[in-house]
Amino acid sequence: MKEAQPIRYSVLDLATVTEGGSIADAFRRTVETARHAERLGYTRFWLAEHHNIEGIASAATAVLIGHVAGATSSIRVGSGGIMLPNHSALMVAEQFGTLQTLYPGRIDLGLGRAPGGDRMAAHALRRGLHSAEDDFPRQVQELLAYLEPAVPRQAVRAVPGQGTNVPVWLLGSSTYSAQLAAVLGLPFGFASHFAPEHLLDAVRIYRERFRPSAALEKPYVMVGVPLIAADTEAEARRLATTPYQRFLRLIRGEPIFNPPPVESMDGLWNPQEQALVEGKLTAAAIGDPETVRRKLAALVRATEADEFIFTSDTFDQAARLRSLEIGADVVNRGNWGD
């Protein structure tokens, strides 16, 4: 098992809206969480593009990245990710070139190929689903070219953007982006926080097929982990009923405002729904500090992850901040042997 370098730890935030709360409240919590993560030594704070989903307020991702970067001073801020087929490569290069110029050395550009919403939202974004996804490799290469120094007689330039060399990641929930990240020599983040079933295959393929590039000499893997940590096992299990309920509502096609925890999920789901929800959370680290350590240790052994990116969606903000404190402490201590 690889342990040459300490494992980094980061946060993925969706600007979730709590039941009875507002989008403005969600943005304030996002900033508070980013500042807290910065104090705790988290490497990066990422925001993800979603559309037409009541309960998630991170649709204008680049705008929110700029807001968070301006409210912090050292933590890297970026996208986890920008859904590239929703946009022109030139526009993304201009937006992130602007961010990199405003906040030098602190901006990441993670890219995905899904729509980030339902089919109706995808069409409202003026994209053809199949053609856009099939065109993803070309779009990525076009974007990379816009962020590199311009060449003589280049007809179209990203201004700002050219020469900023914003670090680009590929993100995915299947083996598709793993293969493309390997071929292009880019860092790879896997969305095991909602699609854990393909994690091991994707990581294996990425490592086996990786080609060194100007951006990256050797493979770099980030693993998404739902984190609900508390001082006691019982409290963590209670807090975890919030993401359980959100996944349940997602399965049912209902709005996914962040609900308060409940003492038990009994009666809220049927056996089939329970199996689906629990299947989506097999990579989750839920429990007291020792339980979280054991879960992360198992993930380290299975994936040789270079970095964890935690999602920690609790109803209560104080519980979320405490969860991130425990996660940081566990990773800093290491001790992945058992």
pLDDT of residue 64: 98
Q: The tokens of 41 are what?
A: 């030594």
SS3 label, residue 10: strand
- Beta bridge partners, 78, equal 46, 108
How many CB atoms are located within 10 Å of the residue 70 CB? 12
- Which residues in 207-232 are b (16+ Cβ under 10 Å) and which e? beebeeeeebeebbbbbbbbbbbbee
H-run or E-run covering 79: strand 76-83
Among candidate residues 229, 194, 199, 226, the one with its CA nearest the CA of residue 330:
229
**Of 122-136, 224-238, 269-283, which range is least confident?**
122-136
Is the predicted pLDDT of residue 47 greater than 50, yes or no? yes
Model pLDDT for residues 286-304, shown as the tens digit of each residue: 999 999 999 999 999 999 9
How many CB atoms are located within 10 Å of the residue 267 CB? 7
Q: What is the DSSP string of 123-149?
A: HHTT--HHHHHHTHHHHHHHHHHHHSP
- How does residue 4 score in pLDDT terms, banded at 50, 70 and 90? low
**Of 89-93, 108-112, 152-156, 217-221, which range is least confident?**
152-156
Helix axes 317-333, 289-303, angle to 10 degrees: 60
pLDDT of residue 334: 86
More confident residue, 303 or 3: 303
SS3 label, residue 280: helix
For the chain, give every domain's residue range: 8-333
**Gyration radius of the chain's alpha carbons:** 19
pTM above 0.85, yes or no: yes
pLDDT of residue 338: 62
Architecture of the domain defined by 8-333: Alpha-Beta Barrel (3.20)
Q: What are phi and psi of 47, to 5 degrees?
A: -125, 145
Are 89 and 142 in contact by the 8 Å Cβ rule? The answer is: yes
pLDDT of residue 1: 46
pLDDT of residue 122: 73
Distance CA 162, CA 279 (A): 43
H-run or E-run covering 33: helix 23-39
Pairing of strands 107-112, 76-83: parallel
Q: The tokens of 248 are what?
A: 């349940």
Q: Would you call the peptide bond into 81 cis, given omega within 30 degrees of 0 as the criterion?
A: yes
pLDDT of residue 265: 97
Share of the chain above pLDDT 70, in %: 95
pLDDT of residue 328: 98
Among candidate residues 312, 316, 322, 315, the one with its CA nearest the CA of residue 258:
315
More confident residue, 263 or 123: 263
Q: Would you call the peptide bond into 160 cis, given omega within 30 degrees of 0 as the criterion?
A: yes
Distance CA 311, CA 313 (A): 6
CA-based angle 242:330:68, to the nearest 5?
Answer: 60
